[in-house]
Structure 1
């Protein structure tokens, strides 16, 4: 049972990236009262958002029920669990499991998110192809997957902590969901050698809460004229988008 806030929690987000959907997934799974403030990524370093998060990164939340404003998705996770998961639907009360959940959340924030993000950046968005950087971060993606694969393979449970899905499992879903795009590989190639991680991930993306989150994302992306992968409508593929970005960078250098 969750403690539902009387007033909706406001979630500030730009829809393309994975991190905002960590928070929406959590709110949907707990059935909490929230509203979305969706805006363009081009405005992420501008007012009014930098008044909410001076670091200019999404997501951020404002909770009128407590007067708390928070940014950094991991901090938001910890807050929502502590404040609103009173029935421990996706958390534990016991000392060991509480800290194991925190451990895995920190690993997601320090290991998965940054490495996957850099892999995607150097694979698709950097102004020039630097193969050593691409190789480094792709290897780190494989290493992170390998860590989780080893843990899940050794456990009788299908989950990272205890014997049920927790917020610690959920935090990994949005970035793993984008791995085919990040790595430029088929879904089968992404999970090669990691059957336990694949099964774990696919159990969660089959949840109604995740499906609702992705329906919301699709609507918000459409409102901003974006395809599911963040590429503007009218551009056929990510390769075409990369070429457009490269031409833009070259033109800016020539000015």
Structure 2
């Protein structure tokens, strides 16, 4: 009786069965790994597709769509707002909107300066910058005179149009006194009108466009009808406002009404 063969035979079978089980387990594990890898790829594709769909939805949401008004008529939609130029055409408003000059500048007036009807206006901004223009009651505007020339050369040695400034302090600016001439206006009827600044400060700029187109002076200040921009000396600005010869807008209106009543 061969004991070794009897003992070895079951052992060999046992080892074989164990090896088979191990191989099956490895193969199963490989299959699982492959399956998981495939699933990961598929899941990745699904995520990518989902992200793409979300991205497309986001792009679509940015497109203009009519806004629905929360009202009884749910079918009402706003018209496209690509062109709003005529939006105010349907607004019924009988008044007039204030101009930029009216909103941000306070006017002060000098009447009959140098000559009768030579009325000027000094517009003072909230930041104290001043703009000089003709007053609405100036004889040039009232009689609609034809302006031949606006001359900023006030003397043989001084030309206001050559004024050059730099920096916040306006270095190089021409100094101005209350009686300093800004320009001379020559009309085709032979009349001339000397315009003074009436305030102490520095000349920032003159309206050089008037040299090429003098008729521009008849327009409103914010449309090009101003003469000069001046940086006043803040120490003398209040004195100018409180001067007896300086009229506020309300006093100016009263003065014009009194003048019209005397003419009648």
* Higher helix fraction (1 or 2): 1
Structure with the bigger RCO (C-alpha within 8 Å, sep 6+) is 1
Q: TM-score, normalised by structure 2?
A: 0.25
Higher radius of gyration, 1 or 2: 2
* Higher strand fraction (1 or 2): 2
Q: TM-score, normalised by structure 1?
A: 0.25
